[in-house]
């Protein structure tokens, strides 16, 4: 690119300081990229986007408070000129599906080589969609989550091993309804029990 062209302005959002610092340092070596802001949570990412109006937001999935998917949807809604690139440790097909539904322009994993990550930023900025090739293949094979919205909610709440009675109180459902949703989720995931269903759904990024 010509020396007179404006660099692509980036905000980085990741709750791990070392990861965020490393990404910032690597991308900062590229002459056409400029990291203008950093954030450690979804809420902070929204603040940084509102403040700097970057071209691209690099966003982690799992962060305290507002998670990456919710933050992505908010950025897409409120700041349509900022493109979102999900960069995560969790290379799970379910996360890819959810990121697409949230409006992300790209999805790559953190072990992506620095040169490829920089290229992903450029391509997203250019209006293209970027998806990790191996994850795209897995996603096509696995497909969308088989769980309904309510089954997902119940299974997510059940991850810490809470009793049916406790889940019913938390979710404001009857115990019978909770049991029905858990049974359906176990059947759809092919698991032997509730713990197995939670583990499979978590591993596939459905929760």
- What pLDDT shows up at residue 11? 98
Is the pTM higher than 0.75? The answer reads: no
List alpha helices for the chain, DSSP H: 17-28, 42-52, 68-78, 93-102, 114-125, 133-142, 149-157, 164-171, 175-189, 194-203
Give the chain's domains with CATH numbers.
Answer: 8-141 (3.40.50.2300), 149-203 (1.10.10.10)
**Residue 201 pLDDT class (50, 70, 90 cuts):** confident
Q: State the greatest distance between any 2 C-alpha atoms of the chain, in Å, as a whole number.
A: 66
- What pLDDT shows up at residue 173? 94
Q: What pLDDT digit, counting tens, does each position of 82-135 carry? A: 999 999 886 676 777 788 888 999 999 888 899 999 999 999 999 998 987 666
**Residue 207 pLDDT class (50, 70, 90 cuts):** confident
- What pLDDT shows up at residue 3? 47
């Amino acid at each position: 690119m010509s020396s007179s062209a404006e660099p692509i302005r980036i905000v980085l959002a990741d709750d791990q300081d070392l990861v965020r610092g490393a990404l910032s340092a690597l991308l900062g070596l590229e002459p056409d990229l400029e990291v203008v802001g950093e954030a450690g949570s979804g809420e902070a990412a929204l603040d940084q986007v509102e403040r700097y109006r970057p071209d691209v937001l690099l966003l982690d999935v799992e962060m305290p408070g507002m998670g990456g998917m919710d933050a992505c949807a908010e950025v897409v809604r409120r700041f349509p000129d900022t493109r979102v690139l999900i960069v995560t440790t969790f290379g799970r097909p379910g996360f890819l599906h959810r990121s697409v539904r949230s409006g992300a322009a790209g999805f790559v994993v953190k072990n992506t080589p620095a040169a490829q990550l920089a290229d992903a930023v450029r391509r997203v900025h250019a209006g293209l969609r970027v998806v990790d090739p191996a994850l795209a293949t897995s996603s096509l094979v696995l497909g969308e989550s088989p769980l309904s919205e309510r089954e997902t909610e119940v299974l997510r709440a059940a991850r810490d091993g809470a009793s049916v009675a406790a889940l019913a109180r938390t979710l404001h459902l009857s115990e019978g309804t909770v049991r029905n949703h858990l049974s359906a989720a176990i059947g759809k995931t092919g698991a032997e029990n509730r713990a197995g269903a939670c583990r499979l759904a978590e591993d596939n990024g459905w929760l």
